[in-house]
Amino acid sequence: MIRFPWYVAGTLALLFAVQACSDGSNEVAVESSADNEIDADIYRMAMEEGQEAEEAASGAASSESAKMDEGSQAQAADPSDQADEDTAGPGESPDTDEASAESPEAAPPTGDTVQAPARFGFQTVNALARQLALNDYKPPASAPEDAAGLNYDQFRRIQNLPGSELWSDDGSAFRVSLDPRGYLFRQQVKVNIIEEGKPVRKSYEPGQFDFLDLPLSEETVETLGYSGFRLLAPFAEAGKYDEVISFRGASFFRALGAGAVYGASARGLSVGTASSEGEEFPRFREFWLVKPKPGDTTFRIFALLDGESVTGAYEFTVEPGPDTEVKVRAVIHPRRNLSNFGVVPLTSMYFFSPHDLAKQPNDFRPAVHDSEGLSFQLANGEWVWRPLTNPNALQVSILAQDVPLGFGLMQRQRDFDDYSDIEAGYHLRPSVWVRPGEGWQKGELTLVEIPTVNEYNDNIVVFWKPGQAWEKGKAYPFSYTLNWGMMSPVLPGVVRVAETRAGRVPDSERRLFVIDFDSSDSRLLAGADADVSSSAGAVSNVTLKQHPDTGLMRLSFELDPEQADTAELRALLTRAGKPVTETWIYRWRAS
């Protein structure tokens, strides 16, 4: 089942796109904005600026390399200035694909074409983003009406033909499957291939797809264009190319670890989430895919972000595995002053589970969610677990102000019987963990929970909101690492929360909360004390005992809300005043 973010159904404003026009040369045609092309003058200036930056970065890298050869200690570079060679992932050879010995200057543009630089990399994408930010945003054209009018079932019938993937016949460890426009994915994106340091536009080829008997005109089929792409690799089973990461829709992307199915998503940037002014969805308008070399274990992607309020340059280095790792560096260029925005926004779905006070009596399944909780490690090392909720009204929570050591949306229940859903496979949805890198500033870890009446809408968003506004005309570099997999790549040094349950005390207004801690080794929690508190109401009947069958330690308590409408609950186990479990937090709200 493909699930779209909660706002798609209401706005249909989520989708982005690519221009496909290449004759195999190194020249990029500049057409009308309706075809999602960048203005010729903007492109020309960006290519010249980018070429100078690439050469400067290459020279700096060469000088640094010489110092290293002499035994000198190299100094770490700023993430926005770092040469592309410095970011090669594990298993990659030096970037000869992006650094020729002598890079000639780009030829001046002639007619309706602009010469791309001889050496193309992150600095060139950053130059494009900077130049775009100096100009007004031009919204892209939508897909033809017949393609946009396809429903979900019709759109999913479009098939990629066997052998249509990029590099499917050269023994590469990576392949790319391109996606057409249609249904909600209406905006076109451009896709380029970087080979030997030179970008070449990947032209749209209708012969890649089988459109069957869908109600599409011949003209639509011939000119439809791409909406995104999926990266495939044989990382779960030898010889079998499975999807690793997908980019499609605004700045959304989502990845998989071995054995998982798609669940939570990430975005390049969020603007105005949960604001009264409405949310804006910047989009990745163009991608550059670095052709992999034999033996490469990572895959690199450059992306150009464009939106009404911002532009940005992104580099993704993807390493498939049990916990697929995606290293990201970015530079954002605001078109206006930004105060309400989010870095590394994660998006997921939470419908219901046993820890809800409002149950779902008409559903045969015990739980329905892509993610069940938010885990984060504070700057002081404390581990915190916040079960997600499906509130009866929009709910925004500020959970940390110092940059955390990490945070993520987690799916901890991994047994089929926890969900009992054969089709959806919720027990196989990946957890997503974020590790902040360079360029992060003090701010707020923000969790947004949106009411939903079904499982088809994403209703959970979590992001880091910088404390200071980003100013128009300035550049803001930052980096981070994402891990997607069945288990968290970082395990707390304390006992985790295994499960939360909640309900009413019979014949009472009191609420009962039951927390199981994930350790069958009673010695880890021997002599522990329960520390339970509430911001409102009264806590009573606190008990701590070991489960007779599972061996898990169970904490239970009751909350009398008294006259309160909201109560912030907090619980953990301590020994000698030090935490031996995660800190459990929960927001109770009156129905």
Q: Is 429 a member of any domain? A: no
pLDDT score, position 446: 97
Helix (H, G, I), strand (E, B) or coil at 443: strand
Below-50 pLDDT ranges, the chain = 1-33, 72-114
Nearest 5°: the CA angle 547, 550, 556 is 35
Q: Of 322, 342, 367, which closes a domain?
A: 322
Contact 303, 317 (CB under 8 A): no
Query: Domain ends where: 322, 340, 356?
Result: 322
| pLDDT for position 558 | 98
Give yes or no for a contact between 212 and 160, defined as CB atoms under 8 angstroms apart: no
Maximum Cα interatomic distance, the chain, rounded to a whole number of Å: 82
If you write DSSP's letter for every residue of 364-426 in order, what string do you get? SSS-EES--EEEEE-TTS-EEEEE----SS-EEEEEESSPPSEEEEE----SGGGT--TTT-G
Listed residue (61, 127, 59, 77) closest to 439, CA to CA: 77
Q: Which residues pair with 305 in a beta bridge?
A: 284, 312
Give me the pLDDT at residue 60, please. Answer: 64
Domain that holds residue 311: 8-65+111-236+268-322
In a domain, 242, yes or no: no
Question: 442-477: string of b/e by CB count within 10 Å (b at 16+)?
Answer: ebbbbbbbbebeebebbbbbbbbbbeeebeeeebbb
Q: Is residue 47 part of a domain?
A: yes
The C-alpha atoms of residue 369 and residue 429 are separated, in whole angstroms, by 9
546: CATH: 2.60.40.10
Q: How do strand 283-290 and strand 299-306 relate by DSSP bridges?
A: antiparallel
CB 538 within 8 A of CB 510: no
Q: Within a domain: residue 564? A: yes
Q: What is the structure's pLDDT at 63?
A: 60
Using left for φ > 0, alpha for ψ between -120 and 50, and beta otherwise, residue 127 falls in: alpha
Residue 115 structure tokens: 């010469």
Compute φ and ψ for 123, nearest 5 degrees: -65, -35
Tokens, residue 226 = 């791409």
> Residue 302 falls within a domain, yes or no?
yes
Distances (CA, A) of 533 to 201, 456, 571, 574: 59, 35, 6, 14
* 116 belongs to a structural domain: yes
**Spatial distance between the Cα atoms of 458 and 461, rounded to a whole number of angstroms:** 8
User: What are the DSSP E strand ranges found in 206-298?
Assistant: 209-210, 226-237, 240-248, 252-255, 265-267, 269-271, 283-290
For position 541, what pLDDT does the model report?
97
CATH of the domain at 33: 2.70.98.10
Output DSSP code: residue 429. Answer: P
* In a domain? residue 562: yes
Q: Which of 258, 289, 322 is a domain's end point?
A: 322
Beta bridge partners of residue 464, listed in sequence order? 343, 445
Q: Is residue 224 part of a domain?
A: yes
Domain count, the chain: 2
Rounded Cα gap, residues 62 and 66, in angstroms: 6
